[in-house]
Every structure is written in structure tokens, then in C-alpha cells.
């Protein structure tokens, strides 16, 4: 199916014995919503490199921005110099965040370092050492951000002492007592009155859509009720927009769906247009708590931030928020129609172009996670020409985070491929052996 040279070389020199791979793809290029693998085959991309390719691949505006920025770099660091591109992007990020309190911006390289910085900053600035997070939360892959995450993929990482984990309310699993919004809020009250005095809690970390936990959309009103309880005790609201922000949900910010008023927002992935870039936007008095609180030499470098400025401009110029709404609704409707044909599809959910398809066995009874079948469908879709990944605490949720530029014809093609993949897996045409070497998520 492919020329294996890059795969073989990768296995010899790239660290991580069990890399998170789903199939043997080795891209050598990209074009719009397609990636091109080693043998020249074009693959439609429903994953967008985990959402980082928000404008797809080789977008001419990003290419031009990178080229121009690289030609006249005055420096590559914000540590000792003022940088016009970084200042301009900071101004633009502040301008798109609701509210008018004085804010400042910190730049990093990924959502992981952004959330890590927030953990350490808030502990120091507030004097409070505890945080509230959720089971299934994924806030990054470095020590600080991992310490407030609750995802099953990070069992190898020690958790931060004193972090309180709540269940993330899941309407599809509403029959479970722990998934009831009322019971979750009641549990928080009990914790505040017993083992977790609220005066010890610095902040709550919120994913407005729990992405890697299964693309779970919280029920209406829950997040606002949680915010109200935290406000009563001076607990700050941190919203992680890394994967679902910047237009993906059908609004500029995913937290706007829930009417949240965050104190601090973290951005990453799509912000860089494919380059390493993250940002934290927060109150000036907190962000300026101490000089050089979190410094990295190349953060805010002019090439990455110039790409970031172009991402924001392109989202506006090409009406990509509206496109996310239109194409996202079309995709969700398409999957609901597929559910009439394929018993494995238990739930279709999402906002805009952040969509989750939960695959289960016996969907009218116990709704048992269809882990093996999910992996096979992802693999078969790749064979048929579609890139899609799976997420979830039980690895049974197909995740769609395609480029925001995806059109309806491309989305329909992807649905056709997935329809065939479901059919082939259900007919036993995909053996267990083909997925044995792939770790997945």
C-alpha cells in the first residue's frame, strides 16, 4: 500500500517504543485538506493533525507570512527585546477575548507549556496549592499540565497532590449517577465542606468540550453553575481552548456556548498555523506576578507569531467560523444517517467542526465500548483514503477535528469512506492482526 522507507527509518531513530500511531502513514506533503503520503497517494484529513492544522496544509496566506517573517528577523526571542510581531499578536488576542479588564499575554510553543505555565503561575500568585479538574481531562504532556490532567493515557505520570477530580457530565451516559450535573455539583459542595476547603483552591481547569476524553459536550447550564460556585470562593476560572477554540466550535471561543467568563484562557494547536505556538491570556495583575516567571528563549519568535496573526486574519477573511457551523452540521447529520445503517454508532455529538462519534456494542442496552471495532474502522478508513483518529477514556470515540477550510463536498467524501469502512469491519473484512502493532490513543 505504501513505500515503507520512512516508516522503517522512523522506527530506528525516533524515541517512543509505543508511539501513538494508528496506521503506517508517512506524509511527505500536504495540500488543503489532504496530506500526501510517501507513494504520492492523497488522503483526506478528518483529523487536522489533532486540530493543529486549523487552516489545512500549505495555505497560501500562512506560506506568505512565514516567508516574509523569516526574511527580516530582528531577533528570535522576547527575553531581551521588544518584538513588533509578538506585540501585535498579543494585542489581537486580547481584542478577541470578551471583557475589558487589563490583560496581558504570555507566549509559548504548545498547549502543554501554556497550561503548565498557568498551574505554576496561579499557585505562586494566589498562594493556593490546589486545583479542580475533571476525569478525562487532557491539558498537556509536560509535568505541570499533566499534573492537572485526568486522562487514562497518562497513568504513567504522577498526579499533583491535592488536585480534586470531578466527573465530566456526559449526556450519553446520563444513566450513570456520577454523570449527573446535579450530583457532580453536589459532590463539589461536599468536598468544599470536608477534605478540600475552597480557600486552598487556586483555580478550576475547564475544557468547554472535553476533547481527548471523548469529545463530550457538557449539558446546558452546567459550566455556568460550576463557575458560580467557584466565584463564591475566589476560585479562578481557567478555560483550555487549545483544541476546540479559534472558530472550531462555530463560535470564536468554545466557552462562549456556555456563557462562561474565564479569568485565563490558553490557546495552542491551530493558533500557529502548523508552527509551534501557544498563548495564555489573563489579567495583567496575575500575568505580571513576577519578572520572567516562565521564560523560553524562542517563545514569541517572529515566524511563529506572524503565522498566528495570519491565522486570526484568515479565520475572519474566509468566514471560517460560519463554515465550521455549516460543514459541522452537515457532518453530524451525515453520521446520524449512518447510524441508521450501522449498529456500532451509539452517539453523534459535537459543536461545529469538533465532532465525536461514540462506537458501542448493544447500543440499546449496556452500550459497551467497541474498542477493537473502533481501531479497525480507523485503520480501514486509512486504507480507503481517509485520516481519522479515535479518542476517549476507552478508545472508542471517532474524533473529527478537520481543517476549518473543509467544504461540504470533502465532508461527504469522508462520510462515504467511513460508510464503507463500517461495512467492511462489520462484515469481518478487517482482521485483528492489522492493528496489533499500533498503540493508538
What is the widest separation between alpha-carbon atoms in the chain?
Answer: 63
CB-CB contact of 107 with 116 (8 Å): no
One digit per residue, pLDDT tens: the chain, 441 residues?
A: 445 688 888 888 888 756 789 999 999 999 999 999 988 999 999 999 999 999 999 999 999 999 999 998 888 888 888 999 999 999 999 999 999 999 999 999 999 999 999 999 999 999 999 999 999 999 998 888 988 988 888 777 777 788 999 999 999 998 887 889 999 999 999 999 999 999 999 999 999 999 999 999 999 999 999 999 999 999 999 999 999 999 999 999 999 999 999 999 999 999 999 999 999 999 999 999 988 788 888 999 999 999 999 999 999 999 999 999 999 999 999 999 999 999 999 999 999 999 999 999 999 889 999 999 999 999 999 999 999 999 999 999 999 999 999 999 999 999 999 999 999 999 999 999 999 988 887
Q: How far apart are CA 187 and CA 50, in angstroms?
A: 33
Question: 420: burial class by Cβ within 10 Å (0-12, 13-18, 19+)?
Answer: middle
**Cβ partners under 8 Å of residue 322, min gap 6:** none
Do the strands 201-206 and 130-134 form a parallel or antiparallel pair, or are they unpaired? Answer: parallel
Q: Give the active site residue among 138, 168, 172, 379.
A: 138
Catalytic residue list contains 135: no
CB-CB contact of 44 with 417 (8 Å): yes
For the chain, percent helix, then strand, then coil, each to nearest 5? 40, 20, 40
Question: For the whole model, what pTM was predicted?
Answer: 0.95
Q: Which of 215, 12, 265 is nearest to 114 (CA)?
A: 265
Residues paired with 281 in a beta bridge: 105, 265
Amino acid at each position: 500500500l505504501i513505500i515503507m522507507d520512512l516508516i522503517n527509518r522512523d522506527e530506528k531513530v525516533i524515541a517512543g517504543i509505543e508511539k501513538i500511531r494508528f496506521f503506517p502513514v508517512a506524509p511527505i506533503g500536504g495540500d488543503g485538506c489532504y496530506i500526501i503520503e510517501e507513494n504520492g497517494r492523497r488522503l483526506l484529513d478528518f483529523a487536522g493533525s489533532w486540530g493543529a492544522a486549523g487552516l489545512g496544509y500549505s495555505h497560501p496566506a500562512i506560506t506568505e507570512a512565514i516567508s516574509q517573517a523569516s526574511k527580516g528577523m530582528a531577533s528570535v526571542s522576547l527575553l531581551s527585546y521588544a518584538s513588533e510581531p509578538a506585540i501585535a499578536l498579543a494585542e489581537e488576542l486580547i481584542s478577541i477575548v470578551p471583557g475589558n479588564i487589563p490583560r496581558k499575554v504570555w507566549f509559548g510553543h504548545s498547549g502543554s507549556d501554556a497550561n503548565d505555565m498557568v498551574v505554576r503561575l496561579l499557585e505562586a500568585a494566589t498562594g493556593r496549592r490546589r486545583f479542580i479538574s475533571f476525569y478525562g481531562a487532557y491539558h498537556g504532556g509536560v509535568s505541570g499540565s499533566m499534573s492537572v490532567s485526568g486522562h487514562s493515557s497518562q497513568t504513567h505520570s504522577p498526579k499533583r497532590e491535592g488536585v480534586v477530580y470531578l466527573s465530566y457530565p456526559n449526556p450519553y451516559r446520563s444513566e450513570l449517577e456520577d454523570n449527573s450535573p446535579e450530583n457532580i455539583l453536589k459532590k463539589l459542595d461536599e468536598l468544599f465542606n470536608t477534605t478540600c476547603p475552597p480557600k486552598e483552591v487556586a483555580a478550576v481547569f475547564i475544557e468547554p468540550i472535553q476533547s481527548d476524553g471523548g469529545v463530550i459536550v457538557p449539558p446546558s447550564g452546567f459550566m455556568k453553575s460550576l463557575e458560580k460556585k467557584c466565584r463564591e470562593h475566589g476560585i479562578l476560572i481557567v478555560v483550555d481552548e487549545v483544541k476546540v477554540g479559534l472558530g472550531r466550535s462555530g463560535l470564536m471561543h468554545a466557552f462562549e456556548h456556555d456563557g462562561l467568563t474565564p479569568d485565563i484562557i490558553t490557546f495552542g494547536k491551530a493558533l500557529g498555523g502548523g508552527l509551534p505556538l501557544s498563548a495564555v491570556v489573563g489579567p495583567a495583575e496575575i500575568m505580571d506576578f513576577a519578572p520572567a516567571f516562565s521564560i523560553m528563549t524562542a517563545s514569541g519568535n517572529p515566524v511563529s507569531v506572524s503565522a498566528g496573526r495570519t491565522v486570526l486574519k484568515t479565520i475572519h477573511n474566509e468566514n471560517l467560523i460560519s463554515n465550521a457551523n455549516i460543514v459541522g452540521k452537515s457532518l453530524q447529520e451525515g453520521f446520524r444517517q449512518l447510524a441508521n445503517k450501522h449498529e456500532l454508532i451509539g452517539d453523534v455529538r459535537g459543536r461545529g467542526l469538533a465532532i465525536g462519534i461514540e462506537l458501542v456494542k448493544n447500543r440499546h442496552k449496556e452500550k459497551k465500548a467497541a474498542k477493537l471495532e473502533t481501531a479497525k474502522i480507523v485503520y480501514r478508513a486509512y486504507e480507503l483514503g481517509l485520516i481519522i483518529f479515535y479518542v476517549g477514556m476507552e478508545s472508542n470515540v471517532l474524533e473529527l477535528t478537520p481543517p476549518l477550510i473543509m467544504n461540504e463536498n470533502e465532508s461527504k467524501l469522508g462520510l462515504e469512506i467511513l460508510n464503507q469502512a463500517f461495512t467492511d469491519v462489520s462484515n469481518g473484512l478487517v482482521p485483528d492482526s492489522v492493528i496489533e502493532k499500533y498503540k493508538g490513543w
